[in-house]
């Protein structure tokens, strides 16, 4: 086990704060916060990137102008949990800054939109208009932002710009947070929406908050003619990493703010197997407990990649810790709000989500997995942000910060082994150099650069169709031509060619389905996150708080990890209705409208079960087509599963957007450098169903579109295998 100490980080204060700025007493702004505000005020800047470190106040930089009562903003957050967290933080800012206009803050997610519309007797479109019209700050997710700009939530009799025209005019600033988590389809969607806003509502500002700016986005902003500014404290030498207490004292005297405390970081080399980290945690649970016994008052988090692993480990640690008066809670993407709230009072949290960790849940101990360099940096950034916390009116100070990174063995070797070692075991390192080394030495994942030219124009085409609507043509005279020209330049496409592709996909679908309308491939290409044809409704008995038991879960995860009982759709919805009435808590049901099946989750399996998709015919001609296709008849082969027949009866009726490769799944993952959670699965046909390893791979929905941009490597038999 190799280890280093990361030096503390101090952030430079702003020197020239505008005299008109209203700040709470004793508050000082950081350099990057004032630079961000200045850039947003500049007539020479359309787009601003703030790449300050995690914990250095990027959110405050985003809302500074609103807190002076000068503008209105939409904040777009990739998860509902993060949006909820940011809503609380903004309300706290308003309470401290007390702007004269008393800005109203509202949050709008899919479930909340559904409940609000039902309670007010409104359609979703009217509900969006009402909530946005009552807000100076609207907190939502980029999915809703995308769909209202493509004309969703409207009736056929309403003009396609009814919602976005009003919202784009009312709000001056569009804030995209955690932008580094967006994949190519989401980046393309954001670009298309920005181009639409620019040609229909000029002089709007866009702010991206991310520790790692997206190079694909920057490249296309250049092509589109957007003027952008990158606020990078690291490049501007606005971070200091003192080696001694005297240096720290000097920085504090000059009002430099401590962003991160020193951290003792150990690297635990893991074998590349699915349960390696879980096994290590089981074997070392006593050592983890020792941290809390030797350092009373400690708060810790274990952040993993697998929800199933969290579910299996939590009761083990809970039983171990309870004998010492310590509490353990979980925090995953599936955890309900009640569970997340209770986790704030725990001593140890185990989860997949970093929401609240390092913010409201202040920690001095961290064990974490990571899937790539950005994920590693983001998770480590949750540690060392606070000197301590308050409990029952008593201030408790941490006496040090320690982290264990559970990482692949090849990564540890690249950092510490041999003549090319870049870190010394037991040495020290500053954060900026360390983060650069992580990006350089970690497993490189594919950025899907080809997606923009291959698929980015599909949404452009449909947005252009909106501008052709006869009811709004005069209002946006000249906008259509400018929009089309910008899209073609941004994505390096020809919209006439896109139109031809769309027509071909539609004809193929009509031939396959016998229907006169529809275009599943186009729908996945123009959506924000793609469709979820394998999504199942889940009633989770492991969730203590009843309203949080109703969830969705993808079928592959169910097959691998869950012990379930099948339910009918009517029985599932009846249970949902009864729970809502009994608890008095509304439970949104719209997300279950198109589920493949409905289940009761009894427990998480100790061992993953093997399974494969199957196709009743010959997959060779389908793979030889080297293109995205719509297939029907797929089923699941898992002979020991008593309920798989029920799923197969429904699954084989589904029309699935697919890309099939005649290569085993593991080879495809390695050679194409696919992200850890990329949705690609093994599939067999009638001639290979009994093979030990399925000879084909299949991806669905947007994953199929992404795979389409890379598969030429196999088509031309280049045979490259990248070092991972």
Q: 150-191: per-residue pLDDT in tens?
A: 888 888 888 999 989 889 999 999 999 988 788 899 999 999
| Residue 166 confidence (pLDDT) | 87
Domains 31-237 and 240-441 share a fold: yes
| Residue 657 confidence (pLDDT) | 96
| Residue 702 confidence (pLDDT) | 95
Mean pLDDT of the 461-482 span:
92
| Residue 81 confidence (pLDDT) | 80
In this predicted model, what pLDDT tens digit does every residue of 339-362 receive, in sequence order? 666 777 899 999 987 767 877 789
Distance from C-alpha of 60 to C-alpha of 232, rounded to nearest angstrom? 16
**Contact indicator for 326, 295 with CB cutoff of 8 Å:** no
Could you tell me which CATH number the domain at 31-237 has?
Answer: 3.40.50.300
Mean pLDDT of the 605-630 span:
93
Give 361's DSSP letter. B
What proportion of the chain, given as a percentage, has pLDDT over 70?
97
Nearest residue to 257 (alpha-carbon basis) of 28, 17, 599: 28
3-state helix, strand, coil in the chain (%, to 5): 40, 20, 40
In this predicted model, what pLDDT tens digit does every residue of 496-518 receive, in sequence order? 999 999 999 999 999 988 888 88
| Residue 348 confidence (pLDDT) | 95
Domain ranges across the chain: 31-237, 240-441, 454-515, 535-604, 612-715
Q: Which CATH superfamily is domain 240-441 in?
A: P-loop containing nucleotide triphosphate hydrolases (3.40.50.300)
| Residue 335 confidence (pLDDT) | 54
Q: What is the mean pLDDT of the chain?
A: 90
Nearest residue to 112 (alpha-carbon basis) of 134, 89, 85, 80: 80
| Residue 211 confidence (pLDDT) | 64
Residue 568 pLDDT greater than 60, yes or no: yes
| Residue 125 confidence (pLDDT) | 80
Contacts of 654 by beta carbon, 8 Å cutoff, 6+ apart: 533, 596, 632, 634
Residue 336 pLDDT greater than 60, yes or no: no
Distance from C-alpha of 208 to C-alpha of 179, rounded to nearest angstrom? 7
| Residue 117 confidence (pLDDT) | 75
Query: 721: pLDDT confidence band, cut at 50, 70 and 90?
Result: very low
Mean pLDDT of the 89-108 span:
93
User: Residue 514, exposed/middle/buried by CB under 10 A (0-12, 13-18, 19+)?
Assistant: exposed
Residue 301 pLDDT greater than 60, yes or no: yes
Least confident of 3-12, 442-451, 484-493, 571-580: 442-451
| Residue 180 confidence (pLDDT) | 79
């Amino acid at each position: 086990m190799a280890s280093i100490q990361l030096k503390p980080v101090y952030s430079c204060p702003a020197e020239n704060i505008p005299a008109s700025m209203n700040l709470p007493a004793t508050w000082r702004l950081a350099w990057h916060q004032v630079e961000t505000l200045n850039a947003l005020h500049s007539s020479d800047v359309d787009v601003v990137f703030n790449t300050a470190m995690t914990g250095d106040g990027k959110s405050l930089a985003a809302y500074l102008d609103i807190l002076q009562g000068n503008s209105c903003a939409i904040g777009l957050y990739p998860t509902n949990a993060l949006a909820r967290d940011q809503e609380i933080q903004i309300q706290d800012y308003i309470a401290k800054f007390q702007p004269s206009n008393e800005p109203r803050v509202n949050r709008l997610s899919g479930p909340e939109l559904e409940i609000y519309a039902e309670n007010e007797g409104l359609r979703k479109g009217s509900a969006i208009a009402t909530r946005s019209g009552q807000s100076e700050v609207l907190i939502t997710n980029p999915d809703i932002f995308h769909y209202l700009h493509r004309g969703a939530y409207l009736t056929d009799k309403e003009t396609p710009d009814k919602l976005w025209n009003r919202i784009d005019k009312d709000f001056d600033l569009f804030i995209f947070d955690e932008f580094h988590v967006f994949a190519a389809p989401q980046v393309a969607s954001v670009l298309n929406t920005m181009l639409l806003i620019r040609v229909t509502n000029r002089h709007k500002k866009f702010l991206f908050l991310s520790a790692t700016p997206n190079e694909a986005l920057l490249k296309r902003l250049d092509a589109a003619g957007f003027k952008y500014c990158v606020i990078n404290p690291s490049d501007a030498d606005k971070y200091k990493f003192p080696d001694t207490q005297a240096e720290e004292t000097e920085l504090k005297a000059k009002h430099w703010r401590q962003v991160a405390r020193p951290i003792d970081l150990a690297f635990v080399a893991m074998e590349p197997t699915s349960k390696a980290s879980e096994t290590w945690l089981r074997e070392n649970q006593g050592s983890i407990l020792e941290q809390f016994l030797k350092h009373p008052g400690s708060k810790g988090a274990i952040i993993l990649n697998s929800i199933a692993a969290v579910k299996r480990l939590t009761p083990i640690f809970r039983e171990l810790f309870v004998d010492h008066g310590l509490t353990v809670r979980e925090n995953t993407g599936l955890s309900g709000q009640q569970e997340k709230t209770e986790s704030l009072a725990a001593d140890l949290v185990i989860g997949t989500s970093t929401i609240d960790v390092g913010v409201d849940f202040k920690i001095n101990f961290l064990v974490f997995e990571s899937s790539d360099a950005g994920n590693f940096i983001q998770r480590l950034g949750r540690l060392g942000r606070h000197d301590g916390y308050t409990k029952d009116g008593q201030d408790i100070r941490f006496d040090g910060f320690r982290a264990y990174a559970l990482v692949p063995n090849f990564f540890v070797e690249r950092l510490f082994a041999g003549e090319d070692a870049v870190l010394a075991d037991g040495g020290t390192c500053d954060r900026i150099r360390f983060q650069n080394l992580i990006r350089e030495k970690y497993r490189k994942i594919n950025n899907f650069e080809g997606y923009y030219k291959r698929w980015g124009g599909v949404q452009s085409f449909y947005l252009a169709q909106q501008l052709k609507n006869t009811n709004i043509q005069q209002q946006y005279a000249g906008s259509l031509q400018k929009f089309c020209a910008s899209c073609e330049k941004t994505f390096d496409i020809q919209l006439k060619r896109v139109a031809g592709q769309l027509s071909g996909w539609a004809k193929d679908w009509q031939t396959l389905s016998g229907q006169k309308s529809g275009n599943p491939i186009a729908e996945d290409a123009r959506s924000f996150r793609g469709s979820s044809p394998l999504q199942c409704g889940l009633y989770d008995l492991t969730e203590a708080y009843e309203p949080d038991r109703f969830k969705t879960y993808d079928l592959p995860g169910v097959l691998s990890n869950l012990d379930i009982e099948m339910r009918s759709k009517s029985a599932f919805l009846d249970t949902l209705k009864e729970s809502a009435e009994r608890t008095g808590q509304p439970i949104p049901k719209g997300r279950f409208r198109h589920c493949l099946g409905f289940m009761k989750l009894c427990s998480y399996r100790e061992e993953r079960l093997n399974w494969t998709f199957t196709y009743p015919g010959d997959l060779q001609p389908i793979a030889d087509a080297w293109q995205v296709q719509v297939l029907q008849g797929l089923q699941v082969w898992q002979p020991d599963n008593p309920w798989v027949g029920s799923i197969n009866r429904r699954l084989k009726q589904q029309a699935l957007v697919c890309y099939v490769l005649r290569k085993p799944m593991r080879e495809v993952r390695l050679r194409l450098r696919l992200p850890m959670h990329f949705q690609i699965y093994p599939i067999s046909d009638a001639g290979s169903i009994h093979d030990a390893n399925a000879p084909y791979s299949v991806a669905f929905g947007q994953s199929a579109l992404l795979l389409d941009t890379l598969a030429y490597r196999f088509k031309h038999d280049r045979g490259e295998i990248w070092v991972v």
